[in-house]
Amino acid sequence: MTHTLDIFKKMDHYGPEKVLAVSDPKTGMKGVLVIDNTARGPGKGGCRMSPNLTIDEMARLARVMTWKWAIVDFKYGGAKAGICNDPNSPNKEEIIRAFVKALHKYIPSEYVFGLDMGLNENDAAIVVDECNDISASMGTPPELGGIPYDQLGAAGFGAKESARIAMELKNMDVKDVTVSIQGFGALSNAAASFLSEAGATVVAISTVEGVLHDQNGLDIPRLLELYEIYGDSAVHHYNGGKLIGLGEELLLDVDVLILGAIQDVLHKDNADMVKANIIIEGANMPTTKEAEDMLFSKGKLIVPDIVANAGAVIAAAIGMDARNSCMRPDPEVVYDLITCKMEQNVTRVIEEAFSKKIKTRDAAMEIARERVVRAMQFRGNKNISL
């Protein structure tokens, strides 16, 4: 893990409240927990496992979670954790247990564990077992009270709902819309499936192996079957369409672009070539500030990440409430609440941005900051104001 003093320069009156770096020589575990702001409740944000992590990256993502929980108006604060090890390590369980043991004072009183890249529901079960507390982690198997977020496609459903609402506000019919999707992981393939079922024409998807493009529309159910078999190589086994270069999916002549993979993919060098009129930030921080400014000046409608990819956090909150009440919600309950929250949040953010002639991100941030600041004030912080 890259340690840096830059995080001190980025501290402000919102946080982070705690930055905890831990290690264990016996297992080789190296990790960090950033608890950004707990004014509205205990910090909640997924833990990722990768050999290439930085403290700055975790701090940025923890801050995103602060705003995301505020914008969906659930009583959690922002946090993020990272384990700087190979997720395919043969002693993965020992590494996770060492990480959780090192942070046992903070889980779940100040940090509720969650899942991000490199970790799955089996790993969440390990966290619960190590803490001996069913509330220690979201994303656990159904046998431990969890909701199968990936099976439900909660994050992708939220991105699809964001796109639908944005289309409706621009008087576009989903059946007449073309969509390009960057990525084909859990969020992206679910978004592709839901949009295709709704009648949209998905013309491109991408994996690390390449971009599959067909202007007449891809067979998404077939692609999902191939992805189950071949993973990212599914693009090479699809009978039809053509492979184009990575990054070209961002620049296709489509109505809607969904960013569903990694951060900073739209930047000052390519944003001016984006043709889509609606951009859905399904991934965290996929667009740089320079790119957002350029797209805004061209009249593009962006649904920012703290709004568009909130489907998973909404489902996670439902799961935690259901666990506490000993009731497992029906999948339709999950979808209905995601739709309800998205209707409220996406509509409000877009309408406020239009009325104030500001970027949608700025409108979303005004709402999120107000909620966090008011919580901080009620907790006795008299020195903070909007």
Cβ 29 vs Cβ 83: under 8 Å: yes
What letters, b where the CB count within 10 A reaches 16 and e where it falls short, cover 320-351?
A: bebbeeeeebeeeebbebbbebbeebbeebbe
Q: How far apart are the first and last CA of the chain?
A: 35
Q: Are 42 and 108 in contact (CB under 8 A)?
A: yes
Within 10 A of 2 (CB to CB), how many other CB atoms are there?
A: 10
- Per DSSP, 6 falls in state H
> Do 84 and 3 touch, CB atoms closer than 8 A?
no
CB-neighbour burial class of residue 12 (10 A; exposed 0-12, middle 13-18, buried 19+): exposed
- Say how many C-beta atoms besides its own lie within 10 A of residue 28's C-beta: 15
Using CA atoms, how far residue 243 sits from 140, 160, 202, 347, in Å, is: 37, 25, 15, 36
Using DSSP's 3-state secondary structure scheme, residue 232 falls into helix
Residues 6+ apart with CB under 8 A from 123: 49, 92, 93, 96, 115
| CB neighbours of residue 26 within 10 Å | 9
**Quick check: is 359 catalytic?**
no
Q: What is the DSSP string of 262-307?
A: -SS-B-TTTGGG---SEEEE-SSS-B-HHHHHHHHHTT-EEE-HHH
DSSP annotation string for 10-55: H-BTTB-SEEEEEEETTTTEEEEEEEEE-TTSSEE--EEE-SS-BH
Distance CA 97, CA 233 (A): 33
> What is the rounded distance in angstroms from the CA atom of residue 120 to the CA atom of residue 104?
20
Region of 57 (left: φ > 0; alpha: ψ -120 to 50; beta: rest) is alpha
Cβ-contact 310, 159 below 8 angstroms: no
The catalytic residue among 44, 68, 80, 300 is: 80
Provide the annotated active-site residues.
Answer: 80
